[in-house]
Chain A
Amino acid sequence: MNLETIITHSPALIVAVPLLGAFLTPLVGKINDKLRNVFVILTVGLTTFFVFLLANDIFSSGNIRTYVFGGGTPITDGGFAIRILFEVDGLNAFMAIIASILALACVIYSWAFMKENTGLDKYYTLILLMVAGMFGMILTGDMFNFFVFLEITSISSCVLIAFWTNKGKAVDAGFKYIVISATGALFILFAIAILYSQYNALNMAFLANSIQYTFLDKIALVLLIAGLAMKAGIVPMHMWLPDAYGRAPSSVTLILVGATQVSLYGVLRMTFTLYGSQLTIPLKQIGDTSITMNGLLGITLIALALITILVGVLMALKQTDFKRLIAFAAVGEIGYIVLAIGAGLTAMGTSYGNMAFRGGIFHIINDALDVGLLFLVAGAIYYATKQTSLNQMGGLSRNMKYTTVFFLIGLLAVAGMPPMNGFASKLLIYQSTYQVNPIIAIVAILCSILLLAVFVKVFHSAFLGPKLPKFKDVKDVPKSMLLAMGIIACFIIFFGLFPEFVVNNLVKPAADAIINNTNYITTVIGGAVP
């Protein structure tokens, strides 16, 4: 079996290996707890290996890889697109890299963090199921398959949010999450049904080729964006997010951050690949100005994004619970991504529109890493002191040296300070939104400064100050947790020091996949696209 064979089969293996591992975990757990932990880390490690192999191939060659389950061609003889298909282009590979980094950090972190809990067989099974669901959502090229993996992700993450059932509020947060995500999933299912009834196909490339942009299609687009925005936590639908992020175990929160980003990927894929060729068609002519779909959608998204940023940052200012504070900051960070997508939509086709897409996509990976690192630090502090309230903490930098350094890295990155990765992507977003409207860029910069203020306050109240007597015996966290935080911190510093390299090699292929959907369609359909 040579390398080419492995790369050919890796789209299927990336989903299949965690799925097989998930069901083997309870059996391995019967033998030994340590063996089970090693087994889970090996499973996720193998998946990460496949992801990087596949991503390396996609980014270096620029090809799009398809994988048809059960063999055969994607389109059968009569022109029916009935086979289940995985299609991997630059955007898919980019998202898969994010998911794999987060998954690997999560399982390494869990070794020490979850050691004192019972029911860990089920915990690891659900983690692997959630990872498999996330990869499925990322890699699939089939609408209904997307829905199925979305449901797998939301059901397993609901149970994981409520994992600490002895803390009653966790169950409450889990219930809130399942209600919101079930509603969102129903929206998406309805949209898929609308598309299927018109075009008799579920294949994304086939649909994108034959879409007519009827009235029903517009309804489907709105439903898809609304459903996925619920899962992503954009402001009117954000109330589940602080509860879920705040109450779940920190290792779970890390993967939840990934699941949120994957929902944003869904928005990008649905809007730009499915409706890509029809977005610039004028809707209505009023006097000299014609209203186009991309302008309307873009302005709506920009408005939502600005509210999201403001609400997220202002709510973060007044929180005293550490994890809840980071959760509101995460809401604000998602706002920046949506802002970039909206700005790119309004200015579609121009050079700064493309720059906005690049900034937005780059910010997806930066947000996942920065917020993820902060959540891991919050988990580490909880592990060491059993405190979540900022009012009870103080002077922790004297006992927890490494954790303090990691928090400082996360703080600078999330606030967009120059040596870290957050700066590179936020600069791209500011530059491009300034061209759309200077006020947007000003609000974005102001909120970023406020975010810095929030985290400086946290840094002061938790880490600085005199040594508190009650934390006299506190030690730094075990090695596995430090290793997990270290992996993410390394990526943050690397992306911050070489943004040019990352933008050219990782972000640009992904942004090109958004801007132009022709390759995505021709790979499956073959021949000319009308």
Chain B
Amino acid sequence: MSGMSKIVKTISSITFPFVTIYGLYVIAHGHLTPGGGFQGGAVVASGCAMILVAYGSVWTMGKIKEKHLSVLESFGAIGFIGLAFLGLIFGTMFFKNFLVGNDFLFGEIGKGLSNISTAGALPLMNFAVGLKVIAGLFGIVLVMAYTTKAKGGKIE
């Protein structure tokens, strides 16, 4: 897949940070507002897909490899399961919310920003799921775009 016109590239570059910030906001506030790790991750991944469409898959593949994305995805999944195991080690049960009721996670900042640290380990789990979804979805889109390139016959 080759890139698109200069207008599309410029507009995509301008909107990309906004899309990403919004997605990260949804992930970070997953325990307070509608949405969460999966939804926010999908927003960020669609922002990445926008860049992919605008600049073309060959250019994007030059910047980031699908191998690295799959490693990131594994880390996201391990983070989620690992937090569940930490519940078994520090708490009493598997998936026990061992951080709830203390300010260990966000400290003073958490109190200031509309009591963000009210859910214990849940924000961390949301981060892990978000990382997995960003890497996974973007990896799928990237590979699909890259392999359809050969069909048209020309590589740009």
Contact = CB atoms under 8 A, between A and B. Distances in A.
Interface residues of A, number: 17
B16 interface: no
Interface in A62-121: 67-71
A71 B93 contact: yes
A16 B94 contact: yes
B82 interface: yes
Interface stretch (A18-26, A176-184, A243-251): A18-26
A23 B93 contact: no
Interface in A439-474: none
B93 A26 contact: no
B88 A20 contact: no
Contacts of B105: none
B46 interface: no
A13 interface: yes
Contacts of B84: 16
A26 B71 CA distance: 7
B74 A69 contact: no
A169 interface: no
Interface in A27-44: 27, 30
B92 interface: yes
A27 B67 CA distance: 11
Contacts of B81: 16, 19-20, 23
Interface in B48-83: 70-71, 74, 77-78, 81-82
Consensus secondary structure, chain A interface = helix
> Which of the four size classes fits the interface of chain B?
10 to 19
Contacts of B88: 9, 12
Contacts of A67: 93-94
Contact of B78 (A12, A13, A20, A69): A20
Contacts of B74: 23-24, 26-27
B70, B74, B92: which has the most chain A beta carbons within 10 Å? Answer: B74
B91 interface: yes
B73 to A, nearest CB: 8
Interface in A322-375: none
B35 interface: no
Contacts of B12: none
Nearest to B87: A70
A13 B93 CA distance: 11
A30 B95 CA distance: 29
Contact of A9 (B71, B77, B78, B94): B94
Given A12-B88, A20-B82, A23-B78, A70 B70 contact: no
13 contacts: A9-B94, A12-B95, A13-B94, A16-B85, A20-B85, A26-B74, A27-B71, A67-B93, A67-B94, A68-B93, A70-B95, A70-B96, A71-B93
